[in-house]
Chain A
Amino acid sequence: MLDLLKLLKKDEVYKAIVPSFLGYRYMYRFKDLIRIEKGKAFLLGNEAIARGAIEGGIGVASAYPGTPSSEIVEALTTISKDLGIYVEWSINEKVAFEVAFAAAITGVRSLVAMKHVGLNVAADPLMSSAYTGVNEGFVIVSADDPSMWSSQNEQDNRFYGMHAYIPVFEPYGPGEAKELVKYSLEFSSKIKHPVIFRSTTRISHTRGVVDLGPIPKSVKVKGEFGKELRFALVPAVSRKNKLALLERWRKISEEVEHCPFNFLEGDGKHLIIAPGVAYSHVREAIQFLGVKARILKLSSVYPIPEAMLLKAVSDVDDVVIIEELDPVTELQVRSILHKKNITIRVAGKDLVEYPYELSIERVVEVLSKFYNVPNPLLQTKAGGTKGIEVPARPPTFCPGCPYRPLFFEIRRYINREKLPYIASGDIGCYALSLNEPYKLQDLIIEMGGSIGLANGLSKVTDDMVFSFIGDSTFFHAGMPALANAIYNRSPQVVVILDNQIVAMTGHQPSPSTVMEGKKAIAIEDVVKGLGVEFIRVVDPFEIDDVRRSISEAVKYVREKKMPAVIIARRRCALVILRDLRRRSIMLEPCYIDQEKCIGCGTCYNWFACPAISKVDGSNKAVIDPSLCVGCGSCVIICPVNAIKLPKGTEPRKLKELWR
């Protein structure tokens, strides 16, 4: 038995020491590991980042959720009580930044995490933080999303380092991520300067083996604010700070020369420079190609270590820079070589294309051109889907989602009224109503953009403008836009979809989430306080109420030329299902009475729940019992009452359970 096990082992046996009280060794949650100080654990990249932060002695962490960053602070919330540290979900990235920055200037180590576009929201304090510096380690985690798996763009946030005079560190995998976060905290603490830790989707959302280290017994969670003048950025102070900043930058440039996560390996007359995740692909690509290479692996991606680069290029014939997205490393390399009058062939973005994430295939292709050797991957591609056509499968609202009946009814209202309209959309699950059959997201630009854009659209077009925004997104960046809409009298129907959670990113609390220790905010109170006169709160499962409210709101907006607000409130289906599971309740699926069904297609073409589909060879509908969650929201939409609750289910009883 296990005859091949030895072959798969790299250098050593992965022996993790996980508490025996768990009764099993490897199935653990992040929080089960806080008393474990050595051994190996299987962790998500974001959990590794969180682990690095607590091993590095943070006293404060904050974040606004956003894929692919969310699990970092998610993990930290599970251990904050045990470790006595302060962790919060903030209202947006700017406030999250300010919370953690405030800790760092009073001498408490801190971390703030956000997705790449979140750093745009926090860019204002980010720029200033370089001018003030900090008094203890301050790490800003930017989780970038090359290939835009879950984002509106793939901006390369290494540029923020360049823009703000803030060093940027980047790991190549989950194991290194943990160590590098710790190092980044130390680095920041030593120089007294903020540090950006950049992760990418393929680091944050890759699970791997991580070496555990000790967690400090006690960490500083209370600081002292010394009221130094450098923290009050009036022009006279900022001018002085700029000089101090440049002095720190000189130290930073020296210090990265000693960063142990930058290194040179391998032999050969060709140098491959591989920053961050690129290194993980390069290592395998050269095996596929069977070529020798000298590799300069970089984790200090801005600034890069100048002396190390000069040493690396000293005895090679040429250089190729393999980097994802923008030529941030290439710009630095070319600049240094030019400054030193070194003429050597340098390839980079002329071979590695700009868009999307890297893969082994892409790197193999580039290196096969660079080395002028055949590409072994091209010939071995499997047949793919030849002969048959596989339709796209866009993501959709979950069965039981409160947004489905809402968008179904609004679409029906708009079609019946032949209403000229613009649907101004936003960031959240409701963005999925972009697709057929709802098609109610004509624009999706950025957080809070729905109401903001509607401010302009309602002034320059005569269409009825609908803004769709979720509860958390409303608190994040929708409130100022709504205040603007009221003050400047912008006629629009604002639909706030209040599922009382940040659903898309994995159910973090929103200010409308009722939970212990938090003061929940009712959106109708906020809206009323801002001065909105037309406010309706509706249950999206009650589609008659939805239609009535929309119709009244449209009338009000037309007459008064002012914004009207509809709050559609019902909890996320996944949260309801989780609660039911905890109570060991499993709802029976609904079914379609085949005798009654007239095959009109309202349910599968317009309501479009994934559990309902058209029967092959007829127009009748059928419910897949393995997909139906038994919420019953489809029952009301059938014109001939052919959709039935499971036998023995009282509608009133279901309403009590599914809420």
Chain B
Amino acid sequence: MVLNIVIVGVGGQGLLSMAQLIGWASVESGTNVLVAETHGLSQRGGSVIVHVRLGDASSPLIPVGRGNIMLALELLEAARYVNYMRNDGVAVVNKKLIKPNIPGVRVEREENVINTLKGTVKNTYFIDASTKALEEGNPVGANMVILGFLGNMLERAGVLQEGLLGKYAGRIGRGSLAEINSKLYEWGYSLASQQVSNELINSIKSWLLKEVP
């Protein structure tokens, strides 16, 4: 009984904080958790994948093709790691494309990336998280929006206790930054409550009943 969450993005976007918050909330909800992080070189604007495994996992790494949920803070990184996902999984993707910092780099058009993701993972949600975060005054707050989206899904699926993840999200940063983060989390949370059907929540519940992910 394992739920595999793949978190991907660009080093510096706050992926490790997301994983840590999910971990804390899971442990408090009574769920075992393993989080495999990427440190060092890959934090300097490089491609980053964090493996979060809730439940009975003993290996820290998610097998290719067995990810249940993907949280992506960047479109190209979502495409890079989409092979970690099950076809029937859920991908929550920040609609933000950051070009790799290579002179003369050729990058796919945004809609091509989006269509590929849609064609690979059954349930995809594209969210203007970076735009919202910039509007609210925290340029790197997209992670909080995506986290809010996850929080809603996992609470409805009965994996996390209600309100825990949001409580923690609101403690990231000092003063007004914490308030902004809280607001961003709530925004993501409410998006999921509008967009994610009960049918999908039931699927998430059924994944949890499987012996292997």
A residues contacting B by CB (< 8 A) are 1-5, 7-10, 13-14, 16, 24-27, 40, 42, 44, 67-68, 149-150, 172-174, 202, 205-209, 279-281, 283-284, 287-288, 359-361, 364, 377, 380-398, 429, 432, 435-437, 504-506, 581-582, 584, 589, 601, 604-606, 608-610, 613, 624-627
Contact = CB atoms under 8 A, between A and B. Distances in A.
A205 B36 CA distance: 6
Interface residues of B, number: 93
A432 B40 CA distance: 12
A283 B80 contact: no
Interface stretch (B133-141, B144-152, B183-191, B192-200): B133-141
Nearest to B120: A383
Contact of B158 (A2, A67, A613, A627): A2
B46 A395 contact: yes
A149 to B, nearest CB: 6
Which residue of B25, B63, B99 has the most chain A CB atoms within 10 A of its CB atom?
A: B63
Interface string B36-56: 111111111111000000111
Given A7-B1, A359-B61, A390-B80, A505 B66 contact: no
Contact of A390 (B19, B40, B79): B79
29 contacts: A1-B158, A4-B208, A5-B158, A26-B168, A68-B40, A149-B41, A202-B36, A208-B33, A208-B35, A280-B58, A377-B64, A380-B65, A382-B87, A383-B87, A383-B119, A383-B120, A385-B79, A393-B10, A393-B45, A393-B76, A393-B100, A394-B101, A395-B11, A396-B46, A505-B40, A589-B139, A601-B103, A606-B103, A610-B45
B5 interface: no
Given A24-B167, A396-B101, A435-B102, 13 more contacts: A8-B55, A8-B159, A14-B28, A27-B24, A42-B27, A207-B20, A288-B63, A361-B63, A384-B82, A390-B76, A391-B107, A613-B99, A624-B98
Contact of A626 (B3, B43, B130): B130
Nearest to A397: B44
A403 B48 CA distance: 22
Contacts of A280: 58-60
Contacts of A284: 57-59, 212
The 8 closest A-B pairs by CB, nearest first: A150-B40, A395-B46, A67-B40, A384-B83, A395-B44, A207-B35, A626-B139, A4-B158
B131 to A, nearest CB: 9
A397 B101 CA distance: 10
A413 B37 CA distance: 39
A436 B102 CA distance: 6
Contacts, number: 260
Nearest to A206: B60
B40 A149 contact: yes
Contacts of A436: 102-103
B37 A387 contact: no
B55 to A, nearest CB: 5
Contacts of A205: 36-39
A206 B32 contact: no
B36 A206 contact: yes
A14 B26 CA distance: 10
Nearest to A16: B27
Contacts of B140: 626
A173 B76 CA distance: 31
A584 B32 contact: no
A289 B175 CA distance: 51
B134 A207 contact: no
Nearest to B139: A626
Nearest to A357: B61
B87 A359 contact: no
B209 A67 contact: no
A283 B58 contact: yes
Contact of A383 (B82, B112, B168): B82
Contact of B86 (A42, A44, A382): A382
Contacts of B212: 284, 287-288
Contacts of A504: 40-41, 44
Contacts of A383: 82-83, 87, 119-120
A385 B83 contact: yes
Nearest to A395: B46
Which residue of A149, A172, A284 has the most chain B CB atoms within 10 A of its CB atom?
A: A284
A173 B60 contact: yes
Contacts of B43: 395
Contact of B133 (A2, A380, A391, A626): A626
B93 interface: no
B59 A395 contact: no
Interface in B55-106: 55-61, 63-66, 76-77, 79-80, 82-87, 96, 98-106
Contact of B38 (A149, A381, A389): A149
